[in-house]
Amino acid sequence: MSIGNEEDAITVSGVEKRFGWGVRAFKALDGLSLGVPQGCVYGLLGPNGAGKSTLLRIIAGLVRPDRGSVSIFGENAGRESRRRLGMLIEAPAFYPFLTAREHLDMFARMNESATMVEPILRRVGIGYAADKKVAAFSLGMKQRLGIGCALVGRPDAIVLDEPTNGLDPDGILEMRSLIVDLAQRDGITVLLSSHLLDEVERVCERVAILRSGRMAAHGKVAGLLDGQARFWINVDSPQTVLERLASRADAGDGGVYVRIGRDDAPELIRALVNANIRIFEAKWITPDLESVFLSETRREPQ
């Protein structure tokens, strides 16, 4: 399956990864393919153990896949192409007695980068704490510093594993605006994993839902939600409608849910009115990402 194209910042093609050997071998990723378009905020979702972190580690070059390939801005993933990636993969480990500025200076030296750290400190919103020791930082400040470290090499894309993990609601809000800003203001592509579905729904333009190392669903968030939208009608004689529409309709929530495409709704309403059925209410009910996630991750594997 090929999903990526030339416009992608990151393309993953048929990646497989097993852990362990023989009968105890376990496939964490099972032929996974996806493409992260440039400039997009792309969310990776999936239940525990679905393979999200393994995939991000493979993209970051921390784990080697058994099969398949990764490319970054059209180049095979390697030392050179990964220079265009910033990463916050594991919980960032900082030296408690170094300041934020000293950490960024150290990262810049390690990266052989001449990046000025001052703008980065301001960019991630910890300019006011630049000379504070990290020991005194809150988790949110550490996450911001972690993103600052990822920005040192002036990346075109960043990969963030659970960037809102452990943050309080204010910290989540701040992280959300930082991520959106990085994409919209700086044009940086963001690939992130998260367990917070409403967060992903707000921040990400596209998502991939993984299940047992495979792709369960992917696409634009709006499209995924719309694809599972259901048409609901409240009528005077639901039984007549259920009989008329047979396998296309189910009773629910005091009315009838009908499986039709958006374009077919006017025709359905016309047909029901012509059949002397009185319609009190008719509306499209769009699920939230949580409902899509649950239906895609609970479905029997094909």
Ligand X SMILES: Nc1ncnc2c1ncn2[C@@H]1O[C@H](COP(=O)(O)OP(=O)(O)OP(=O)(O)O)[C@@H](O)[C@H]1O
Rounded to a whole number of angstroms, the minimum distance from the CB of residue 247 to ligand X is 36
Binding-site string for ligand X from residue 11 to residue 40, where x marks contact by CB under 6 A and - marks none: --------x--------x------------
Using CB under 6 A, which of 33, 53, 71, 189 touches ligand X? 53
Rounded to a whole number of angstroms, the minimum distance from the CB of residue 27 to ligand X is 8
Mention every residue, 6+ apart, whose C-beta is less than 8 A from residue 145: 92, 94, 100, 103, 104, 124, 126, 134, 137
Contact 88, 72 (CB under 8 A): no
Backbone angles phi, psi at 92, to 5 degrees: -60, 130
Using CB under 6 A, which of 2, 48, 247, 302 touches ligand X? 48
153 binds ligand X (CB under 6 A): no
Contact 160, 147 (CB under 8 A): yes
Distance from first CA to last CA of the chain, Å, rounded?
15
50 binds ligand X (CB under 6 A): yes
103 binds ligand X (CB under 6 A): no
Q: Return the number of other C-beta atoms located less than 10 Å from residue 70's C-beta.
A: 21
Using CB under 6 A, which of 51, 65, 86, 146 touches ligand X? 51
Q: Is the dihedral of CA 173, 175, 176, 178 positive or negative?
A: positive
Using CB under 6 A, which of 43, 46, 65, 146 touches ligand X? 46
Using CB under 6 A, which of 8, 42, 52, 206 touches ligand X? 52
Rounded to a whole number of angstroms, the minimum distance from the CB of residue 150 to ligand X is 18
255-258 and 249-252 beta bridge pairing? antiparallel
Q: Is the dihedral of CA 156, 137, 104, 83 positive or negative?
A: negative
The residue (of 25 and 246) whose beta carbon lies closer to ligand X is 25
Listed residue (23, 34, 19) closest to 66, CA to CA = 19
Listed residue (204, 228, 271, 282) closest to 36, CA to CA = 204
> Candidates 43-51, 106-114, 148-156, 181-189 — which segment interacts with ligand X by CB under 6 A?
43-51
The residue (of 13 and 194) whose beta carbon lies closer to ligand X is 194
The residue (of 20 and 223) whose beta carbon lies closer to ligand X is 20
The residue (of 35 and 46) whose beta carbon lies closer to ligand X is 46
Half-sphere exposure of 295 (CA within 13 A, CB side): 11
Rounded to a whole number of angstroms, the minimum distance from the CB of residue 213 to ligand X is 7
The residue (of 15 and 203) whose beta carbon lies closer to ligand X is 15
- Report d(CA 75, CA 200) in Å as an integer: 28
Residues binding ligand X (CB under 6 A) = 19, 28, 46, 48-54
